A and B are shown apart, each in its own frame.
Chain A
């Protein structure tokens, strides 16, 4: 596997799959990237399970860098791969110390990071792997998903699992857990907003990828979640967002 893709997700998925599971694999929201395709084929070959690109039909969804736009339901499992599972690592290199900090809920340093952002940039500049607090108790790194996806973690009916292969760590957010992104009273958490609708389906509520079309810098904004976008188009919604 290419370094950086991470075995964490693959290991977690491998341990979960039952013969009747339906697996979806996405990479930055897309089912058709090389890596997503390889992993899907790998599991078909080794586990013999069915696969799908349809978020609603999947029972296990392995993902890197995005959470699907389609809301997940009870019984589904989301598997996210995390490169650095320890949210406190940036300020505390010692594992013994970070474990204590979690055990004693000593999370002051997380807000130090946000403070630094505001002091330096005038706002919280973290846009990926934005730290959040689970069940009012534990702070986690939700993996390098855009902060746009953080609200999806909150009270999600699906089980959300996080695997870090190199660090041999697994953590989980049980279904319906409260997940609140960290912020300050006077600098509340907010998600990214896009100026453009999706060029293909006209959607204004999804996370968009920016695609450079040519050498002259022409760009196009399209949904990063390919399944979500194609469903909207199949339902007759066009680039204006209105039914054709």
Chain B
């Protein structure tokens, strides 16, 4: 295998989103390969969440486009997909982990149903198998099996977030988007979640795009990083490059502002 003929999984080309005259994000380009975790870091208002929404087809970009390599190896422009294809992709090949797990879960049904839903959506019709898959994933995200029939309303914030991850991963997606996945959680809870995410992404071939304001999260999870400010990409590179040899003034400011414990 040589690197040259290894096609990227996701390619953003000149991606931009304008709100009237206001810049959401502008001229963002990058490529992501299988097994890579890319962190998009920036402070509030940097445009990182807007970028994530454009990448994951939740917002239509004002300019540029996003290409994705399907399982049959075809590279498609996402804006050319039909709505049915888009929604199918989002259910099977992709995952989206919201900062608030309530947005990514059905709070009114049991944990088992939350995990099993995607399987049922793609035609799984054997209750025993669905339940078995749910139990398997609860184990992988370190939720006790006897919580399978509980509603997520009875779960703590950290458990809900782990459940959201399980719900997203059950169909074996190749790309997961995460929007501040540790936001709002206590530090010890964050550590556990990050450890889980690290184990799930590293060496599994799963690619991820993680939006975070927390450089420590980026350092832990990602191999590559993009720094955003006012909607623009300020700097990008390998995570250790950006954190240890920041070139741009803003990046240097960001890195130096982080307290070392």
Contacts and interface: CB of A to CB of B under 8 A. Distances in A.
B76 interface: no
A121 to B, nearest CB: 11
Contact of A115 (B84, B87, B116, B122): B116
Interface size class of B (residues with CB under 8 A): 20 to 34
Interface string A171-188: 000000000000011110
A186 B127 contact: yes
Nearest to A120: B149
Contacts of B125: 111, 184-185
Interface in A118-136: 118-120
Interface residues of A, number: 18
A186 B106 CA distance: 25
A33 to B, nearest CB: 36
Nearest to B127: A184
Interface string A91-127: 1000000001000101111011001101110000000
B108 A91 contact: yes
SS class, residues of chain A in contact with chain B: helix
Contact of A108 (B83, B108, B112, B121): B121
B87 A106 contact: yes
B126 interface: yes
Nearest to B86: A104
Interface of A: 91, 100, 104, 106-109, 111-112, 115-116, 118-120, 184-187
Top 8 A-B residue pairs of the complex, sorted by shortest distance between their CB atoms: A108-B121, A111-B120, A184-B127, A108-B120, A185-B126, A104-B84, A112-B113, A185-B125
Interface of B: 83-84, 87, 106, 108-110, 112-113, 116-118, 120-122, 125-128, 130-131, 148-149
